[in-house]
Amino acid sequence: MSSSSPSVHPDVVTERLVLRPWTMGEATAVLDGTRSPHWAADFPADGDRVIAGLFGRHPEWLGIHGHRLIIERDSGLVVGSIGLFWPPGEGVLEIGYGIVVSRRGRGYAPEATRALAEFALSAPGVHTVSATVEVSNASSVRVLDKAGFHRCAAEGKEVTFVIRSPGRERG
């Protein structure tokens, strides 16, 4: 059993993944370095530790439209995390994601990103999900392309991708 309590928020389920909200117990375990048998051997990654450390300042990130663990349905192991930086600003939510090295190259990141973006677009007042990545990060650029995001803007070494609610594809 993991050091967490059941989530009160619904999971987002894809063909191969379950996106389940973090619990404070899991965040504490990540920060304390306590291993769970339900984690891939290389989870948590550095980005997961950063997010776990921010939940105290951003408790809304533990809400229904916040951050989630990415779980392989076949193995039941946590293989990464993905999140929405709630609340939205003028109808726009930012998304971030990461898959542990041992599970990269399997298409998990685009699958999870597409599913969480669709979930986010169903939230009241949200019409756009965005992600900003460095142009040199070819893997993240591919993830967003495969997830159905479109290049929206570039500034310096960064490019912003967006996906919008139907009927808001432009603007």
12-164 classified as CATH 3.40.50.300: no
CA distance linking residue 146 with residue 6, whole number of Å: 32
Q: If you search the block for the tokens 């408790």, which residue do you land on? A: 59
pLDDT band for position 76 (50/70/90)? very high
Q: What is residue 137's predicted lDDT score, i.e. its pLDDT? A: 95
The β-bridge relationship of strands 128-134 and 78-89 is unpaired
- pLDDT tens, residue by residue, 6-50: 456 799 999 999 999 999 999 999 999 999 999 999 999 999 999
To the question of pTM greater than 0.85 for the whole model, the response is: yes
3-state helix, strand, coil in the chain (%, to 5): 30, 30, 40
Is residue 115 helix, strand or coil? helix
**How far apart are alpha carbons 138 and 131 in whole angstroms?**
14
In terms of DSSP bridges, do strands 92-99 and 128-134 run parallel, antiparallel, or are they unpaired?
parallel
Angle at 155 between CA 129 and CA 125, to 5 degrees: 20
pLDDT tens digit sequence for 43-52: 999 999 999 9
Name the β-bridge partners of 93: 129
- Name the E strands within the chain: 12-13, 17-21, 67-72, 78-89, 92-99, 128-134, 150-155, 158-164
Domains of the chain, by residue range, sit at 12-164
